[in-house]
Amino acid sequence: MSSHDLDIARRRLAAAQRVTVLTGAGVSAESGVPTFRGAGGLWENHRPEDLATPQAFARDPALVWRWYQWRRGLIAQCRPNPAHVALAGLERNKPRCTLITQNVDGLHRQAGSRDPLEIHGDIWRLRCLGCGRVWLSRDLGLPERPACPQCGGLARPDVVWFGEALDSAFLEKAWQAARLADYMLVAGTSALVQPAAGLAAVAKEAGAFVVEVNLEPTPNSAWVDVSLFGKAGDILPRLLEAL
């Protein structure tokens, strides 16, 4: 990462009116959040990809919930890192800032972000399959088949599984934020997972200045305005300190 590139990104951010941020797993990895496949493919002899589906839940909800409780237990030990804290500060300094995240760990909220668009859901929320009620619970002792406190129906994790569409309302807000941005910051994402991977291109086409922060080059690196390579927890506080 050159100081010249960092300075350009800083100056453009200071002048920006509408900022949109997209974060991915790389941001939370610095807090110790295990990757989705952190079970090493060996969890009660199941592949994680086989558990995160509507079909798996319909077949054996207790098994799926045991896996999610295991994941929740790991994430509960993690805390927001300087990248999360810096982005919460950005929101305070730029009122027209929209934070979009692919992460389900809730660390942006813990850091003080006011209303992140969690387009893949939140592992700490439950959703009733009966009445649709959604509620937050950080209880690590949930029963294997959690019940809705309102109707008694079976609850599932409020996350997006393989084979499911993203929430259309959240997704439309994300596209709108990308289209309206004059500065787009993409941090800790491989730019491979659609549809989130397309947000930066939408912003660029609409005229935004696009900055990526990542450990290594991504498919976006060929056309973004500035690439800052390194840890988000190191770079984002430096990028935002001028604010």
Write out pLDDT tens, residues 7-42.
999 999 999 999 999 999 999 999 999 876 655 554
Taking each helix axis from N to C end, the angle separating 232-240 and 3-15, rounded to the nearest 10 degrees, works out to 50
- pLDDT at res. 193: 72
Nearest-angstrom CA–CA distance, 174 and 33 = 24
Same domain, 227 and 214: yes
Give the bridge partners for 97, in sequence order: 19
Within a domain: 40: no
pTM of the entire predicted model = 0.92
Within a domain: 236: yes
Same domain, 15 and 115: yes
Same domain, 181 and 205: yes
CA angle (94, 97, 103) in 5-degree steps? 130
* Whole-number CA gyration radius for the chain: 18
In this prediction, residues 57-76 reach a mean pLDDT of 95
| 46 part of the active site | no
Q: Which residue is it, tokens 């960092």?
A: 6
Residue 74 tokens read as 């790991």
User: Could you read off the pLDDT of 176-228 as tens digits, one per residue?
Assistant: 999 999 999 999 998 777 777 799 999 999 999 999 999 999 999 999 999 99
- pLDDT at res. 191: 77
- pLDDT at res. 102: 94
Within a domain: 197: yes
Kindly tell me the burial class for residue 238, based on how many C-beta atoms sit within 10 Å of its own C-beta (0-12, 13-18, 19 or more). Answer: middle
Q: Which of 4, 84, 108, 120 is catalytic?
A: 120
| 60 Cβ contact partners less than 8 Å away, ≥ 6 residues apart | none
Same domain, 104 and 180: yes
Same domain, 138 and 218: no
Same domain, 84 and 73: no
pLDDT at 47 over 90: no
Within a domain: 233: yes
